[in-house]
Amino acid sequence: MAHPDSTTLKAARNAWIAARAPYQQSEVFRFGNPLVDEWEGKVNAWPLDEGLIDYVDASQYGVDAEENKYRGVNIIANKTIRVSGSDIDVSNINKALLSNILHELGGVEANVATGYHAIEFLLWGQDLNGNGPGAGARPATDFDTANCTNGNCDRRAAYLQAATDLLLDDLSDMVAQWAPNGAARKSIQADGTKKGVARALTGMGSLAYGELAGERMKLGLMLHDPEEEHDCFSDNTHNSHFYDAQGIQNVYLGNYKRTDGRMVSGPSLSSLVAAKDAELDMEMRARLTATHTAMSNMVAVAKSGKAYDQMIASGDKAGNQTVQAVIDSLTSLTKSVERVVSALDLASIQFEGSDSLDNPGAIFK
């Protein structure tokens, strides 16, 4: 940010996309583990009311003012904001301001001030293309104090710096939680093997079904709404979904490929299931492969030039089918996970659902 130009902005965007791959693979651990789920609201909260943070195009800014009275506050453009009848000094944009005051301002979950998606919006800006081609197109000069576009370039740079530093802090906390003496690891180990397995399966089924197939994919497909895509500013949604599914596969097979290419392997759910029912283990592996294939096809379509928000557009039959194939594969995978739950005598497990899958008529009421 010391010398913002198109090259440094592209480098920052590429770094953001690269950082998404390992994080998305960790989301499978959220469900069934409250300690882990607490992090999500800080590092990956979505959807985001971008008008809280910076300027927006009013014609494509659809947040309901009745639901969010802090709609369009625009922290970057204002050094004072009014909250619950009092003026709040926001002149110094720092980590404490973002995390302790602005994040979920007024108790509204859409007021996302921290994490990956706040940074994504700062790097790309609004995606004003609807279901058409193109991601956000924020110019590098939005951070250039010597040649500033859209005003407040110093505050925009300060926000990006604070949000990035805060994300690094939060991710470091996550690493510590999973260390040998970390609270997340202890919480699983202290509960014994059976509860640890139950939490792993809860994560797999809930992420595959209610969260990924339902809230992140089927809902947007039903509405044909480009605002219902996870990495909406960057058009990185295909990768986000792919690595979520990769995380599910990692947990079942007991494998993880590090960012440097090295493989990490350990005890697997697969071996546990195979000891009980070898055919069921083969079924699970086949479902995981089918999901990987459907996801890979979606990624290939995106890389060929049709972004995820275009795939879910009304009238794009081929694109819709590509996305629906992923949803179908995730739904089938969940059914196999349910069979694993039964085989391991863990009947008390419940997966998260989604109206878009379980009660689609409610979506249009």
At 32 the pLDDT is: 79
Distance CA 105, CA 110 (A): 9
For residue 277, give both structure tokens.
């029912």
At 39 the pLDDT is: 80
Helix or strand (DSSP H, E) at 68: none
pLDDT digits (tens, 9 = 90+) for 241-253: 999 999 999 999 9
- Computed over every residue of the chain, the mean pLDDT equals 93
Distance CA 258, CA 271 (A): 22
What mean pLDDT do residues 125-151 have? 95
pLDDT at 153 over 70: yes
Helices (H), ranges, 219-268 = 219-223, 237-253
The DSSP annotation for 292-327 comes to HHHHHHHHHHHHTT--HHHHTSTT-HHHHHHHHHHH
pLDDT digits (tens, 9 = 90+) for 210-260: 999 999 999 999 999 998 899 999 999 999 999 999 999 999 999 999 999
Share of the chain above pLDDT 70, in %: 97
Q: Taking a C-beta distance cutoff of 8 angstroms, is the pair 134, 3 a contact? A: no
pLDDT digits (tens, 9 = 90+) for 306-329: 999 999 999 999 999 999 999 999
At 65 the pLDDT is: 58
pLDDT: which is higher, 162 or 67: 162
CA-based end-to-end distance of the chain: 46
Strand partners, 120: none
Closest CA to 60 of 232, 182, 209: 232
At 364 the pLDDT is: 80
Q: Taking a C-beta distance cutoff of 8 angstroms, is the pair 110, 48 a contact? A: yes
User: Strands 86-89 and 263-265, how do they pair?
Assistant: unpaired
At 352 the pLDDT is: 93
Q: In this structure, what is the dihedral angle of CA atoms 238, 244, 246, 250, given to the nearest 10 degrees?
A: 170
For residue 46, give both structure tokens.
């979505």
Distance CA 133, CA 309 (A): 8
Work out the pLDDT band at 66, boundaries 50, 70, 90.
low
Q: Alpha carbon 210 to chain centroid distance?
A: 14
At 362 the pLDDT is: 85
Query: Secondary structure of the chain: what % helix, strand, coil (to 5)?
Result: 60, 5, 35
Residue matched to tokens 């379509």 = 301
At 151 the pLDDT is: 96
Give the other-Cβ count within 10 Å of 15's Cβ: 12
What mean pLDDT do residues 330-347 have? 95
What mean pLDDT do residues 104-119 have? 93
Distance CA 175, CA 20 (A): 15
What mean pLDDT do residues 282-301 have? 98
Work out the pLDDT band at 140, boundaries 50, 70, 90.
very high
pLDDT digits (tens, 9 = 90+) for 1-23: 678 999 999 999 999 999 999 99
pTM for the full predicted model: 0.94
What mean pLDDT do residues 177-184 have? 88
